[in-house]
Amino acid sequence: MRLLSAFVAFVLIGSPLFAADAPVDRDNKPIPAAAELAKLTGDAAKGQASFATLCGICHQVNGAGIDFGPNLSDIGSRKTKENMFESILDPNKVLEPGFESVLIKLESDETYMGMIAGETDSEVTIKAMGGVKTTVKKADIVSRTKQPMSLMPVGLYRALSTDDLVNIIEYLAAQKKK
């Protein structure tokens, strides 16, 4: 768990690998602005496969994937394609309510980064990447700091081609309230 937390902190603090300058895809080709990407039509079936591989490690659609980030089962009813592209290209632009990250340090020098999944008078439950929940005693907490950034890594789009990105958004745009 500590190794995962260290990795997450490394990614979120901003390794050169995940720097968010001019966005380029995995082929090192420039990615158009969100407004331009939104005008493109992708292949939703291919998008579903790419989503399962990359996005499903943190998000769920209709019960498939891991329950960590926002559930995207009805995202097509809540967001425009342009908004969805913006969320991938700049995950820190708009943080979804309830998904703010927190860094908790314990007296034992253990550190946890994730979201608050539950809290009582005596305990706090943190949900970390992968959906893993850890409960700690409040009495053991040395510091609890709200983080000003998303837990979604900046630069994640670099693992995709622009076509893959457009296909994923086409798939997500089709996810409507039932």
Domains 2-11+24-97+153-173 and 102-146 share a fold: no
- For the cut 50, the answer to whether the pLDDT of residue 51 exceeds it is yes
- pLDDT digits 0-9 by tens, 6-44: 444 444 444 444 444 678 999 999 999 999 999 999 999
Average pLDDT on 153-176 reads 95
Return the amino acid letter for 68. Answer: F
Name the architecture of domain 2-11+24-97+153-173. Answer: Orthogonal Bundle (1.10)
What's domain 102-146's architecture? Roll (2.30)
> From the CB of residue 59, how many other CB atoms can be counted at a distance below 10 Å?
21
Among 47-61, 67-81, 113-127, 148-162, the range scoring the smallest mean pLDDT is: 148-162
**Threshold 0.85, pTM exceeds:** no
What per-residue string of b and e applies to 147-159 under the rule 16 or more CB within 10 Å gives b? beebbbbbbbbbe
What residues does each domain of the chain span? 2-11+24-97+153-173, 102-146
